[in-house]
Amino acid sequence: MLSFVSLQIEITYSYQKQYLCIVHCPPSHHALVAAAVKHRLFALHNCTRPQPVSFGLPAQSSSLASAVRSQRFFSSAAVFGVNSATIRLRDQSMLLLSSVVLLLPLSLVAAIPSQFEASCPGGCSCTAYKIVCENVHSKNGQDIFLHASPRIYPDLDTLQITGNNFGDLHGANIFGEGVENSKVTLANFSLDGITDFDEKTFQGLKGVEFLYLGNNNLTEVGDHPFRSMEKLKYLDLTNVFGRGVSARQKADILRKMFQANEDQFVELKEVILDDNGLEFLHPDTFCKITGLGQLHLKNNNLKDFPIPKNGACFPSLKNLVLEGNQFAVIHEHLYNGPIELTGFDVSRNPLKCDCTAKNFVKYAQREDSFFINQDYTTCAWPVEHQNKKLFQIQPEDLCPSSGGHSLFFFLLVVFLIAVFGYRYARVHNITLSLPTRIPFVAGYSVLKSNDDGTVPQFV
């Protein structure tokens, strides 16, 4: 016995043209109707058009009801059930069926794509909660984003749109004017060739918590580009810049991204800025991200990291990753300053291990649980400490004993004084000579020989 699923639509039937037309087809039925067409239950060109669309079914009887009941409209085991009480004549050439029920076998329904699959952009996969478009190589974002309508995907949670060449996205909501996918919490737009975006671009993603924009070709951003994303918690900007963007431009763009006139980034906890070739950062770049807890700056060209002495810009920062940069000296404000880090990574930097690093080495060895990637935190200079692990060097080896140094410097000063004194004397024709006779105090025996002349005479 066949089981059936019902699909209610409103249609009209024309005697003259001999076809059935859709008057109304709810969006929730689009996929089923499309599947029925695919399986040749009837011919249908487009269920979403507002005008009636032909089913292309020939009339086999003067009575529509009897024709439907005889199943002569179908090439497979489906039943068109019609409630005769609802059939009424509109005119001599047209019948209006206000309630027609299409019954399809469940075996067929199992093979029917859902409404989400039927509305999915070409080359993508879609479910009620997720749209994935990888390496579609689209040059027009609207080809994909306009399909992600909240009318069709009301519970959409994840957008993974990667491997495209969208270019400039500034100036308009990617989903269309006024369209908002409020339930989307994760959006991945990596490897999409994005060169520019502004505050309008992501207006339709107000609920996003995780945003991935890595490996794009960014050259500019508009003011407050993340203004709409008040719930943003995680932002990945790995290798986000395009070729030819200078170090100054990169620093300016980052500062522009995070500037806000209000408490805009209270939820943002983690920012990834790895592999961007950054050479410096403006001191106020992250000051508006009051909740920032983790900052990743791996594989850049930074030589210093600016932190205001009062720590006002990083009240919540706990983990700072500076791996793979150009730090030679780790200044005290980074590890023992106003911010209270619990994780600090300075591995794979060309660290100088001499007297200037003595305090840092002592601190690092005393607070070893504070440092990440210790096996890769090594010295680059001087030669005698090259490739040695920072956490295995004896601090006293960084500065040889002060006594030997003091004697050396004393002798050096004496030597320099002698050289300059000699040259001065030569220039001014001053003759330097040692005395030929050195006066001395005569011994007691000599004095004794003159006793007679020196002893007073008494009468």
Cα 344 to Cα 361: distance, rounded to the nearest angstrom: 14
- Does the global pTM surpass 0.75? no
Residues in the chain predicted with pLDDT less than 50, given as ranges, are 1-24, 37-111, 402-404, 438, 440-459
CB atoms within 10 A of CB 329: 15
3-state secondary structure the chain: CCCEEEEEEEEEEECCCCEEEEEECCHHHHHHHHHHHHCCCCCCCCCCCCCCCECCCCCCCCCHHHHHHCCCCCCCCCEEEECHHHEEECCCCEEEEEEEEEEEEHHHHHHCCCHHHHCCCCCCEECCCEEEEECCCCCCCHHHHCCCCCCCCCCCCEEEEECCCCEECCCCCCCCCCCCCCCCCEEECCCCCEEEECCCCCCCCCCCCEEECCCCCECEECCCCCCCCCCCCEEECCCCECCCCCHHHHHHHHHHHHCCCCCCCCCCCEEECCCCCCCCCCCCCCCCCCCCCEEECCCCCCCCCCCCCCCCCCCCCCEEECCCCCCCCCCHHHHCCCCCCCEEECCCCCEECCHHHHHHHHHHHHCHHHECCHHHCEEEECHHHCCCEHHHCCHHHHCCCHHHHHHHHHHHHHHHHHHHHHHHHHHCCCCCCCCCCCCCCCCHHHHHHCHHHHCCCCC
26-29 CB contacts, 8 Å cutoff, 24+ apart: 27/115, 27/151, 27/152, 28/115, 29/115
Number of domains in the chain: 1
Residue 430 to residues 131, 414, 417, 420, 438, Cα–Cα distance (Å): 95, 20, 16, 13, 22
- What is the C-alpha separation between 173 and 204, in angstroms, rounded? 6
Q: What's the confidence (pLDDT) of residue 312? A: 77
* Cα 363 from Cα 332, distance rounded (Å): 10
Give me the domain span that covers residue 279.
123-317
Q: Is the dihedral of CA 162, 165, 168, 172 positive or negative?
A: negative
Return the pLDDT at 34. 55
Residue 382 lies in a domain: no
26 within some domain: no
| Residues 60/71, Cβ–Cβ less than 8 Å | no
In-domain check, residue 20: no
Q: Which pLDDT belongs to residue 35?
A: 54
Q: What pLDDT is stored for residue 411 in this prediction?
A: 74
CA distances from 230 to 10, 177, 312, 409 (A): 44, 20, 22, 63
Cβ-based neighbour number of residue 446 at 10 Å? 9
Q: Determine, yes or no, domain membership for 139.
A: yes
Please indicate, yes or no, if residue 453 is contained in any of the structural domains. Answer: no
Residue 10 covered by a domain: no
Backbone Cα Rg of the chain:
43
236 is a domain residue: yes
Residue 86 inside a domain? The answer is: no
Between CA 290 and CA 293 the distance in angstroms is 9
Q: Using one digit for the tens of pLDDT, what is the confidence trace for 372-431?
A: 999 999 999 999 999 999 999 988 888 865 444 555 666 777 777 777 776 766 776 666
CATH number at residue 184: 3.80.10.10
Q: What is the C-alpha separation between 124 and 382, in angstroms, rounded? A: 56
Residue 90 identity: R
The per-residue pLDDT for range 125-177, each reduced to its tens digit, is 999 999 999 999 999 888 899 999 999 999 999 999 999 999 999 999 999 99
pLDDT score of 261: 65
pLDDT of residue 435: 52
